[in-house]
Amino acid sequence: MNDTSADLTESTVGETAAFAAEVARVKSSGVLGEAGRLVELFDFLARRGASAEPATQIEIAETVFGQAASESDDATARVYVHRLRKRLEEFYAQDGEETAGRLTIPSGTYALRFAPPARQEEKAPEPRAPWTMPKWGLSAVLLVALIGAFWFGRAVETGAPEVNPVWRPFLESDRPIVIVVGDYYIFGEIDPMNPESGRLIREFTINSKTDLARAQESDPNRYEMTEDMGLNYLPFSSAYGLAELMPILTQHHKQVTIMPASQVTSDTFQTYNVVYIGLISGMGLLEDVNFMNSGFIVGESYDELIDSRTRKSYISEEARSLASTQYYSDYGYFTEFHEPGGALVAVVAGARDTGLRGLAPIIASGDLPGDIATLAKGRNAKGFEVLYEIKGQQGADLSEKLVTARPRPS
């Protein structure tokens, strides 16, 4: 055996041992509970190993949930993979300093992977700091609804807009439509001795009342003055997306429902056709439903999409450039496909606000760009997806360029 082969073997053995050690550490922490489906799913993926081919939805449905192949078209596997991924993210977020690496479930796969710790000389990615809602934040939530209602009223007054080939299947279907809006959980931090200095916080590892309770239990020093306020917020750009699409979708012969992404469950796809409007970071369960069979992968942050064919990254520049007068690139993502349970799903999303605001009028237009119109007319159950680069300046979308429009992977 030459030196190179020996090095590779030693490296593989080391990675396997590190993977096994981290699996044992996560299980012993109790973060997954003592028993239940989440533990069974974790054990199933762990037994396959760190370098195994991703499991299929059918394999998980049959092995973990005891479902027959004919029952495996529902979203049970995706729901639990989504929960397991979030539970692992929470565990490492609360675990403090990372020394041994971490277990991950990459978006778009049913596989447990081991990510070794970053080398000391490498610059670690900037952590997402807790977001503090300004004083006008609550008014912003109400303003989103008012803007949507205003533009919807304007559209009704001027007559129903033309329906392009993207949206015709939604209107022709007997299934009702639910518009899912990406939302974000926020909690309060209030000092009982100085309540006027209280604040509202958005933290990316805490996405529900249950998440907050778990954080309070695991790290009481940090979260001792926090409390659930029963609040979620929406990005401003969601109002622009609703303004473009509501006049089209409300032409359906059944009433259109709106719900936040945080309330979407597997049952949603059994009852409705689903249209998501929001940021990629707010998709919730829809993130797994969509990216499980997509040509794109969500990167290390939700500001990044990676083309799985070319490995090229598309990273939004809005967050770092919004305060200045310089031009920046953001990205708008659209896809349409049939979910295995039968639901027709469309996603109108931006990496940031500029991307969503720039994409919505394009995809709602009665005169679709040629490449998108061709894909929409020739669609099959796998569907298609589109990526736009939107040039912005201080939050305004100035121009757009089609990056790719193609069928989703078979």
Quote the CA–CA distance of 126 and 120 in Å, as a whole number: 14
Per this entry, what is the length of the chain? Answer: 410
Q: Identify the DSSP state of 353.
A: H
pTM of the model: 0.69
Tell me the three state secondary structure of residue 64.
coil
pLDDT at 215: 85
Average pLDDT, the chain: 82
Q: Are 68 and 62 in contact (CB under 8 A)?
A: yes
Q: Are 261 and 181 in contact (CB under 8 A)?
A: yes
Query: Does position 142 have pLDDT exceeding 70, yes or no?
Result: no
Q: Using one digit for the tens of pLDDT, what is the confidence trace for 67-88?
A: 765 444 556 777 788 878 888 8
Average pLDDT score over residue span 344-364: 96
Low-confidence winner among 133-137, 143-147, 277-281 (lowest mean pLDDT): 133-137
Quote the CA–CA distance of 185 and 205 in Å, as a whole number: 10
Task: Rank 14-18, 206-210, 239-243 by mean pLDDT and report only the highest.
Answer: 239-243
Every domain of the chain and the residues it spans: 3-115, 160-183+235-407, 186-232
- pLDDT grade for 95, boundaries at 50, 70 and 90: low
* Topology adopted by domain 3-115: Arc Repressor Mutant, subunit A (1.10.10)
pLDDT at 14: 65
pLDDT at 390: 96
Q: Which residues contact 267 (CB under 8 A, 6 or more apart)?
A: none
Residue 158 token pair: 């001027």
Low-confidence winner among 82-86, 343-347, 352-356 (lowest mean pLDDT): 82-86
How many CB atoms sit inside 10 A of residue 218's CB?
16
Q: Using one digit for the tens of pLDDT, what is the confidence trace for 23-62?
A: 888 888 888 877 778 888 888 998 888 888 888 878 888 8
Q: Using one digit for the tens of pLDDT, what is the confidence trace for 237-248?
A: 999 999 999 999
Q: Looking at per-residue confidence, does 366 or 380 come out higher?
A: 366
Query: Does position 141 have pLDDT exceeding 50, yes or no?
Result: no
Query: Does position 228 have pLDDT exceeding 50, yes or no?
Result: yes
Low-confidence winner among 54-63, 171-180, 254-263 (lowest mean pLDDT): 54-63
Average pLDDT score over residue span 370-398: 90
pLDDT at 209: 84
Quote the CA–CA distance of 87 and 112 in Å, as a whole number: 13
Quote the CA–CA distance of 264 and 3 in Å, as a whole number: 53
Q: Using one digit for the tens of pLDDT, what is the confidence trace for 286-315?
A: 998 899 889 999 987 789 999 999 999 999
Quote the CA–CA distance of 83 and 391 in Å, as a whole number: 35
Nearest to 48 by CA among 33, 64, 71: 64
DSSP codes, 167-231? THHHHHSSS-EEEEE--EEEEEE--TTSGGG-EEEE-TT--SHHHHHHHHHH-HHHHTTEEEEEE
